[in-house]
Structure 1
């Protein structure tokens, strides 16, 4: 089968599109003919180094994806359009047993710890294949598995977002940030976003953002306070780190909640502990989500409450160009790989 895989670490030169063995479906698994995947920041990280993530080369890239089931133990599943939950879990550890498989001590992620989704075929446990609503195409279905699921957990499981609350989303245009805007608006929140791009700010307003802040990090808190009458926001969604972290804390109302899932520009910012305890702020770390959260997200999509925007499509043969597009940071919406 054709697949995009890494032969080493470095730049796009280590990515090859060529032949790899078709995975052999095991009992309890479904074999999926892949139709689409999307590009995520972690794909760039794996290409660059993959440091700290146990993996072996060559390795097929791609964390999320969607396609059609071709083989299954249950014949009724064959032909079903599905999106993939990318976490492979043990099902036996204390976290799996208490219904939090996303915390599984032995979780492996497609495209990180093992072969991923940028291939003509993928075989995963049947429970990892969730049906796509008719309203979504394959690229939109693929987009749900990482960014949208991550944003969903950050907003609901961690920050416990309530209708009528105010949310600040940093770095609109990034996958998780864009998903957070759409989900929070669908949940009845007032949403502010930040961006240094006028074009991305305009796109965000078109998707429902109540305000877009174009300011350096140290000026963002003042802008937020002006928008909220000096109160601050209830929830911050942040995945940038570095100097943004301190600014994000200053934007919160007393008792406010901040959820973080990344550190694009730095993972060792000032903790600002006095602010944290004096204002009784709540800080939540989050990554991905559980299959039951994924199912609820898909229900919202089926009801027309969320539709992932796709910025551009690339064929599998042009995966290097897709990676360069993400690195350029000009996208608004997901970058899809058509397989």
Structure 2
């Protein structure tokens, strides 16, 4: 089969590799679409834990069952979506030590076929195309757990999503709007803020403007829930923007750790700082049910054939996308 492969740091090849060899309890899926996450880019650049070479990247995918899966109710020809959260463990509170994400160390979805444990399959939501379904798993699961399992978002609350444009941030916007929250966003791009408003955001602020927290206070008020993946020097602004009793939930640190944590502000405002990553099997099922109930469709920013995988990664590295980047095997 054909696949995109990282043979070493910052190298990408597309070519023939061995067909997947399923183990007991595994299903072979012919992938109709896959999608990129920033995790894939960090792996390519050699900036991710547990690196191994060669590796087929990709955590997101949707396709058609080729063989296996009968023990969990799937038959050849069934349209499925893949859950990238492997070996979560028994506790809903946090993942086990054996937890893995599809695409490292296990070969991922940027290939024509994949072998995957049958328990990782779910029926593709009927209202989604394969491209839309492939855009959902990792980012949708992360956003759902952040908002509902960790921050316990309630309808009517005011939400700030820091850094709109990436997959998780956009799902957080769509999910919070669907749940009846008042949603605001930040971005370095006024165009992305305008696009977020078209998806239901009430407004937004350009975080390159050092006065944005004051503008947010005047225009929106304080925020009950703040969703972040950047960290870094701007984290203190999020503490300032949070309402008393507010929750700041974060799933990344693309700008590194904050230089300082304003602890006095945190305890005086009685804030909760909530770390989160991916999601449990229960989160996965709840997310799929939520997406189906509200007929939510992922934002697909760009689509590339597998042979142009390098161009897909270039787009992600430049940060030019608004939504998910999809690759068609």
Q: Shared topology, TM-score over 0.5?
A: yes
CA distance in 1, matches of 2:196, 2:304: 23
Contact 2:155 2:180 in 1 (8 A): yes
Q: CA shift at 1:208, angstroms?
A: 0.3
Partner of 1:70: 66
Q: Which residue among 86, 97, 118 is the counterpart of 2:90?
A: 97
Q: CA shift at 1:301, angstroms?
A: 2.4
Aligned positions of 1:128-139 closer than 5 A: 128-139=120-131
- Structure 2 unaligned regions, length at least 5: none
1:42 is the counterpart of 2:39? yes
CA distance in 2, matches of 1:203, 1:156: 24
Does the residue aligned with 2:153 lie in a helix, a strand or coil?
coil
Contact 1:171 1:194 in 2 (8 A): yes
CA distance in 1, matches of 2:271, 2:74: 49
Partner of 1:92: none
Q: Which residue among 160, 172, 184 is the counterpart of 1:180?
A: 172
1:5 is the counterpart of 2:5? yes
TM-score by length of 2: 0.95
Q: CA shift at 1:298, angstroms?
A: 1.5
Contact 2:89 2:99 in 1 (8 A): no
Contact 1:312 1:335 in 2 (8 A): yes
Q: Find runs of 4+ consecutive structure 1 residues off by over 6 angstroms.
A: none
Q: Which residue among 275, 285, 301 is the counterpart of 2:291?
A: 301
TM-score by length of 1: 0.92
Q: CA shift at 1:175, angstroms?
A: 1.3
Contact 1:236 1:257 in 2 (8 A): yes
- What is the number of equivalent residue pairs in this alignment? 327
Q: CA shift at 1:55, angstroms?
A: 3.6
1:158 is the counterpart of 2:156? no
Q: CA shift at 1:112, angstroms?
A: 2.1
Q: CA shift at 1:215, angstroms?
A: 4.0
Does the residue aligned with 1:77 lie in a helix, a strand or coil?
coil
Partner of 1:260: 250
CA distance in 2, matches of 1:17, 1:138: 21
Contact 1:217 1:244 in 2 (8 A): no
User: What RMSD in Å do the two structures reach over aligned CA positions?
Assistant: 1.6
Partner of 2:204: 212
- Structure 1 unaligned regions, length at least 5: 90-94
